[in-house]
Amino acid sequence: MRKTFNFSAGPAVLPEVVLQAAADEMMNYKGSDMSVMEISHRSALFQSIIDETEADLREVMNIPDDYEVLFLQGGTSLQFSMIPMNFMRNRKADYILTGYWAKKAYNEAKQYGQINIAASSEDKNYSYIPDCSDLDISRESDYVYMCENNTIYGTKFKDCPNSKGKILVNDISSCFLSEPMNVSDYDMLFGGVQKNLAPAGLVIAIIRKPLISETVMQGTPTMMRYKTHSDKKSLYNTPPTYNIYIVGKVIKWIKSLGGLKKMKELNERKASILYDYLDNSTMFHGVAEKESRSLMNVTFRTESEELDAAFVKAATENNIISIKGHRAVGGMRASIYNAMPIEGVRYLVDFMREFEQSGGNYGK
Ligand SMILES: Cc1ncc(COP(=O)(O)O)c(C=O)c1O
């Protein structure tokens, strides 16, 4: 058992059993006398790792056969360019702005075409998810873009936006495998693995097959074409082999707990402990509007920046790690991804209660 509880937004806590299993296999993977890190990506041993990881991902997410699963590099941020370069035919797209990462994707896309803001919650510092049931989508739009869980603001879409028949692209980085989702409601799902799945350095993209085409924007580098990676089954060049191996282990851990339905149940239980406390506290307040709250990233603050800073300092001294909020929001943020045990959330809430009872003078 670890003594600290790590509430980092990513890279983030991974299941202890997965880390232990990886440690046990570190020097000798399946009798090969090699670490997974040392195995050729062209070997049969690695091929079975990537095949099994993809098969398990397809199983837990219930991914239909007409979707490709790609293991990519360049972080989630490279997708902000790859998406327009691969999908823009009319040089038009619609973006839903619900936070820092959606805005970054929007700013990147603006380099390639005319981008319409279909909906936005920027007016209230992204503290809510706007109504997306009747979006004002441009007629020639190539796709609609959204970010399902807004890591920095602690908000999440509860309903799939109505993209009115347009291609719907969804950044699921910070809610990846946190609950069941209907993959076919979307045309592309993508996310960095550094929150819920593995160490940083790998992005998984799930794309409806007919969208993967030779026809891309002129000048698109070979490495930035989805077709390159789908033709070579994610082995066009050397993929982040160790990350793929850890993703495989994390998915097996999710399966062992009972799959995504169970994961959602556990995540709801954890989040409600924290939100219930926030709703009854006189010192701490939730930042995101109630109907838009995320199960993964819980944002909160006190009445003053000084008290926030005192809380972060006292919490850190008491083994509560990375609880400071992002500078765009201030206050605190507890990222309670799949691998955060319920004991971690209880420990945090107990500490918040003690801090509140001390009137902010904890330990003084
Ligand atoms: C929702 C979301 N999208 C994109 C990113 C950017 O990811 P990367 O650093 O892998 O480019 C992040 C990072 O935290 C994120 O939370």
Structural domain boundaries in the chain: 16-256, 258-357
CB of 77 sitting under 6 A from ligand 1: yes
pLDDT in tens, 222-249: 999 999 999 999 999 999 999 999 999 9
Spatial distance between the Cα atoms of 266 and 318, rounded to a whole number of angstroms: 25
CB of 241 sitting under 6 A from ligand 1: no
Instruction: Count Cβ neighbours within 10 Å for each residue of 245-266 and write b for 16 or more, e otherwise.
Output: bbbbbbbbbbeeeebbeebbeb
- Which of 341, 343, 322, 296 lies closest to 195 in space, CA to CA? 296
Spatial distance between the Cα atoms of 274 and 347, rounded to a whole number of angstroms: 10
CATH number of 258-357: 3.90.1150.10
The pTM for the full model equals 0.98
225 CB neighbour count, 10 Å cutoff: 21
pLDDT in tens, 102-119: 999 999 999 999 999 999
CATH number of 16-256: 3.40.640.10
Cα–ligand 1 centroid distance for 33 (angstroms): 36
Catalytic residue, from 103, 156, 166, 195: name it: 195
pLDDT in tens, 293-342: 999 999 999 999 999 999 999 999 999 999 999 999 999 999 999 999 99
Active site residue 171: yes
DSSP one-letter string for 186-220: -SEEEEESTTTTSSSS-EEEEEEGGG--S---TT-
Spatial distance between the Cα atoms of 260 and 268, rounded to a whole number of angstroms: 12
Query: What is the average per-residue pLDDT within 67-91?
Result: 98
At residue 1, the pLDDT reads: 73
At residue 364, the pLDDT reads: 78
At residue 363, the pLDDT reads: 81
Instruction: Name the residue of 103, 106, 151 whose CB sits within 8 Å of the most ligand 1 atoms, as the mutation to test its pocket.
Output: 151
Cα–ligand 1 centroid distance for 261 (angstroms): 25
Write the CB contacts of 158 (distance below 8 Å, at least 6 apart in sequence): 129, 291, 292
At residue 182, the pLDDT reads: 98
Catalytic residue, from 94, 101, 253, 270: name it: 101
Side-chain-side CA neighbours of residue 350 (13 Å)? 9
Instruction: Determine what percent of the chain is predicted with pLDDT higher than 90.
Output: 97
- Which of 268, 262, 286 lies closest to 334 in space, CA to CA? 286
Here the tokens at position 14 are 């991974």
Side-chain-side CA neighbours of residue 189 (13 Å)? 25
φ, ψ of residue 119 in degrees (nearest 5): -165, 155
Spatial distance between the Cα atoms of 186 and 167, rounded to a whole number of angstroms: 7
Spatial distance between the Cα atoms of 276 and 143, rounded to a whole number of angstroms: 38
Q: Given this chain, do its domains 16-256 and 258-357 carry the same CATH topology?
A: no
Please give the angle made by the CA atoms of 153, 155 and 159, to the nearest 5 degrees: 155
Active site residue 101: yes
